[in-house]
């Protein structure tokens, strides 16, 4: 109680337990030694407070339960398998299904409110009786290796690669897409169909430490792992050669045994900025492509660029250029993988969470867990447990937003990829959270 700064509560356990259960919190768990454990009242109250579900008094418990019930009674997103039956409280009549790509189809619901979902998977808007619902129509199974290889009995193999270990020309020692292409070639030459990458999400600039699993925003890419030489060829080298000190610095960093992030990141950004300034003279085709990219940039990308560039003189212009560079380089990698006969190609790695001070947290304030951080319980690997210092999404917040943050995240991380690995995928059902600053214990 003292560690959390909260006085002891004389709350009837059933009331607190009821709110916790409705919120999806498991009070009872079994540790690695098969011992039964029980979360203390103070910790449970702190977690519920962070989820904006106070439960310190009977009145608060009642109010929080009502709010949770309202989320379940009117969900922002319904789900159904393709061709299966969806049940709504409606009188018999006609309805209209409208897919997000503009396709439409009609339907009927019987007096019990039963209607058949479209056979085509996707996100649909169902219109009936003057009302409408957002419906995710899911395929019967997840797209997998057999689908990618078009062979129901197919088995294949691939390799995994930490991108920061795949060094390329002038990368400053932090690895880049040019280095990745060498591993694509080696894997494809031996019959491999996939290359699984470490996370390449956008990071927070100015940090003294770096981890691919503590990104600023998982919807966007780290431009510093894109290879200018891969896209611009010798023209990129010429731009770098016009700044001898910068060229020497990148060469020194590339020759080091370990990655010096604090020196490598600003050096690589300096090269990218020089490319941005020289772009009109480097390639008319690439310049036109960048202008189209910038003109068609969605608000989400513009907001990210403004957030990421708020503390730099070049601002969002450099961040926007960096995202264009990264997307084009990774697309080139995937195209090269297919050209060499790899049916899957690149497999993305979706990190478990994000920096609470980063762009992704700022983009979805209504859906982010506040005052909580992700971690892991004590186990044979770490007897004291783990506090990772990263944030995640609130289950209630995701339901209230129709899972929009998660949908946007998956779409972004799957772009120009043949597969995706979801780090700590168990978190989709079981997520270990800690009151922020309370420690792993």
Question: What pLDDT does residue 314 have?
Answer: 75
Q: How many other C-beta atoms lie within 10 A of the C-beta of residue 430?
A: 10
Cα separation, 86 vs 421, whole angstroms:
30
21 with 364: CB under 8 angstroms? no
Question: What pLDDT does residue 6 have?
Answer: 38
Residue 239: both structure tokens together = 């731009």
Which three-class secondary structure state does DSSP give residue 372? Answer: strand
List 422's β-bridge partners, or say none: 350
Residue entry with tokens 């450099």: 318
- Region of 134 please: left (phi>0), alpha (psi -120 to 50) or beta: beta
Instruction: Work out whether the CA dihedral 178, 325, 362, 404 comes out positive or negative.
Output: negative
Alpha carbon distances (Å) from 20 to 37, 107, 121, 218? 16, 40, 35, 30
Question: What pLDDT does residue 11 have?
Answer: 44
Question: What pLDDT does residue 440 have?
Answer: 87
CA contacts within 13 A on the Cβ side of 15: 17
Question: What pLDDT does residue 80 have?
Answer: 96
CA 339 to chain centre: 28
360 with 394: CB under 8 angstroms? no
Cα separation, 228 vs 322, whole angstroms:
10
pTM of the model as a whole: 0.90
- Cα torsion for 189, 191, 196, 202, to the nearest 10°? 40
Residue 64: both structure tokens together = 């929080």
Could you report the average pLDDT of every consecutive run of 10 residues in the chain (441 residues)? 35 74 92 92 93 92 90 86 89 87 86 87 92 94 90 91 91 95 97 97 81 94 96 96 96 94 94 96 94 96 94 84 98 97 96 94 94 91 91 90 95 96 86 89 77
DSSP H helical ranges for 213-298: 228-232, 234-241, 244-255, 261-282, 284-295
State the DSSP string of 72-119.
HHS-S-EEEETT-EEE-S--SEEEEEEETTS-EEEEEE-TT-EEEPPS
Question: What pLDDT does residue 344 have?
Answer: 96
Question: What pLDDT does residue 9 have?
Answer: 45
DSSP H helical ranges for 296-340: 299-308, 315-339
Q: Which of 147, 125, 120 is nearest to 344 (CA)?
A: 147
Question: What pLDDT does residue 208 have?
Answer: 66
- Residue 393 is classified by DSSP as B
Question: What pLDDT does residue 396 have?
Answer: 85
């Amino acid at each position: 109680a003292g560690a959390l700064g909260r006085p002891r509560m004389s709350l009837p356990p059933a009331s607190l337990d009821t709110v916790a259960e409705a919120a999806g919190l498991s009070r009872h768990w079994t540790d690695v030694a098969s011992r039964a454990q029980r979360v203390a009242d103070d910790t449970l109250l702190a977690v519920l407070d962070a989820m904006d579900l106070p439960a310190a008094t009977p009145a608060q418990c009642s109010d929080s339960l009502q709010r949770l019930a309202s989320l379940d009674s009117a969900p922002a997103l319904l789900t159904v398998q393709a061709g299966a039956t969806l049940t709504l409280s409606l009188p018999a009549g006609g309805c209209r299904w409208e897919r997000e790509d503009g396709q439409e189809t009609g339907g009927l619901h019987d007096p019990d409110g039963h209607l058949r979902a479209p056979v085509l998977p996707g996100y649909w808007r169902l219109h009936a009786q003057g009302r409408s619902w957002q419906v995710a129509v899911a395929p019967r199974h997840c797209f997998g290796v057999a689908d990618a290889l078009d062979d129901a009995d197919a088995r294949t193999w691939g390799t995994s690669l930490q991108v920061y270990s795949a060094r390329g020309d002038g990368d400053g020692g932090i690895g880049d897409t040019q280095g990745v292409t060498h591993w694509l070639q080696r894997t494809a030459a031996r019959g491999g169909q996939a290359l699984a990458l470490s996370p390449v999400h956008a990071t927070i600039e100015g940090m003294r430490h770096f981890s691919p699993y503590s990104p600023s925003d998982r919807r966007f890419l780290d431009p510093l792992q894109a290879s200018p030489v891969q896209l611009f060829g010798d023209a990129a080298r010429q731009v770098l050669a016009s700044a001898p000190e910068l060229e020497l610095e990148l060469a020194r960093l590339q020759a080091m045994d370990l990655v010096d992030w604090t020196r490598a990141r600003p050096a690589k950004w300096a090269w990218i900025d020089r490319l941005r300034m020289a772009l009109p003279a480097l390639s008319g085709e690439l310049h036109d492509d960048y202008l189209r990219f910038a003109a068609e940039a969605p608000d989400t990308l513009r907001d990210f660029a403004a957030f990421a560039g708020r503390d730099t003189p070049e601002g969002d212009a450099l961040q926007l250029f960096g995202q264009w560079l990264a997307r084009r380089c990774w697309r080139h990698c995937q195209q090269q993988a297919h050209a060499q006969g790899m049916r899957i190609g690149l497999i993305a790695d979706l990190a478990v969470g994000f920096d609470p001070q980063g762009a992704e947290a700022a983009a979805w304030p209504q859906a982010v867990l506040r005052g909580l951080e992700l971690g892991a319980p004590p186990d044979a690997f770490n007897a004291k447990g783990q506090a990772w210092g990263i944030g995640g999404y609130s289950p209630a917040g995701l339901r209230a937003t129709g899972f929009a943050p998660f949908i946007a995240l998956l779409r972004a991380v799957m772009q120009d990829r043949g597969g995706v690995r979801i780090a700590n995928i168990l978190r989709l059902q079981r997520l270990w959270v800690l009151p922020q600053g309370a420690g792993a214990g």
